């Protein structure tokens, strides 16, 4: 069990640029989640995959955000035309069966200049 | 809607017990969780409790659940300086997909 892996750990970009983050879940975990955490807050749910199917999206996920999990393994989260308000920690989590908890990666910290 | 509330700060001396409290709104939550976050890191799962249990103990950690009052607590015995971190309480959404987190309790342990 190598844990949930996220890359990059840090991303600094200029406003208006596109960014893409990657998440590799714990192997054999078929459920994958993305959360966003801003300073002083708890994580907020963005979206959820079961295998390759995106089953739920939060209203926080504006049309500038898109997430994929093409083969049911790793996932990517893309933000287009980044804005200052997108600065946050983006966390990925994965889970196996229904009665198992979500395990989190170390996150990608996004800073918008 | 679902909501989770926690006190924001707790300060204790090394060796004392720490008790972090949480209230939640969704009475249908099947599992409730405690996560720990150190600076610049992701969330580390500490423990979780199934809703039909009143208590769960795991080494220095004791979780108490009062379903009637929708109150969850985490007790850390013999608190160490390495326990200094932010502790998050979380409940599962009604749909059984996402976690709803509180704002976190910052635990400060002084020697």
pLDDT tens across B2-37, in order?
789 999 999 999 999 999 999 998 878 789 999 999
pLDDT digits (tens, 9 = 90+) for B84-95: 999 999 998 877
CA gap B100, A47 in Å, rounded: 13
Contact B42 A55 (CB under 8 A): no
Q: Are B25 and B15 in contact (CB under 8 A)?
A: no
Is residue A102 scored above 70 in pLDDT? Answer: yes
Contacts of A41 in chain B (CB under 8 A): 103-104
Contact A43 B44 (CB under 8 A): no
pLDDT digits (tens, 9 = 90+) for A21-68: 999 999 989 999 999 999 999 999 999 999 999 999 998 889 999 999
pLDDT digits (tens, 9 = 90+) for A33-46: 999 999 999 999 99
Strand order in the sheet with A65-68: A5-7, A19-24, A75-79, A65-68
Shortest distance between the Cα of A58 and any Cα of chain B, in A, equals 10
**Half-sphere CA count of A70, side-chain side, radius 13 A:** 3
Contact B44 A48 (CB under 8 A): no
């Amino acid at each position: 069990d190598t844990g949930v892996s996220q890359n990059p750990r840090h991303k600094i970009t200029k406003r208006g640029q596109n960014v893409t983050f990657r998440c590799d879940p714990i192997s054999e975990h078929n459920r994958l989640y993305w959360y966003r955490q801003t300073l002083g807050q708890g994580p907020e749910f963005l979206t959820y995959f079961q295998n390759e199917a995106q089953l739920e999206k939060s209203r926080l996920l504006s049309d500038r955000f898109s997430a994929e999990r093409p083969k049911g393994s790793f996932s990517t989260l893309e933000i287009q035309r980044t804005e200052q308000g997108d600065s946050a920690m983006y966390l990925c989590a994965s889970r196996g069966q229904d009665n198992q908890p979500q395990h989190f990666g170390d996150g990608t910290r996004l800073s918008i200049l | 809607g679902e909501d989770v509330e926690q006190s924001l700060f707790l300060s204790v001396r090394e060796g004392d017990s720490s008790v972090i409290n949480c209230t939640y709104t969704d009475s249908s939550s099947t599992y409730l969780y405690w996560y720990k976050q150190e600076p610049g890191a992701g969330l580390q799962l500490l423990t979780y409790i199934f809703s039909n249990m009143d208590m769960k103990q795991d080494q220095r950690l004791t979780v108490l659940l009062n379903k009637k009052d929708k109150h969850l607590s985490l007790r850390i015995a013999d608190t160490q300086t390495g326990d200094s971190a932010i502790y998050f309480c979380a409940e599962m959404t009604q749909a059984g997909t996402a976690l709803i987190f509180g704002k976190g309790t910052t635990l400060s342990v002084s020697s």
